[in-house]
Structure 1
Amino acid sequence: MLENVSSAADVEVLSPHGCDRCFVLSVTELLGLKELFAGARVMLELNSILQERIYSPVLT
């Protein structure tokens, strides 16, 4: 999208699986969505690490 100069490359249409809606995103919105997903992935990993540390049995 960033390298294509035609006006057809200005937006991306996303249709998530299992959803009846379509989303039309610009380049900046698409990059923001990518950052949001990256942050969500980190938070899920952090949550798993915390759960493992808090609820793991203590070996003595």
Structure 2
Amino acid sequence: MFGLFKSDPNKKRRKQHASLQEQAMHAQRNGDMRKFAELTSQAEALWAEIEASEKKTG
């Protein structure tokens, strides 16, 4: 019953992941491949965390 009021921790992570992907896209369009690679790497690591968390919670 009280699970209704709990916030989903993955919701914040998914929003952060989307933001990283958007920043990476803008870096790529501006020709900054180094920053694009860095942001993409961070986004992939965050996505791995999200998947692991979702597997753990079921």
Q: TM-score of the superposition, structure 1-length normalised?
A: 0.45
Report the structure, 1 or 2, having the larger strand content. Answer: 1
The one of the two structures with greater contact order (alpha-carbon pairs below 8 A, sep at least 6) is 2
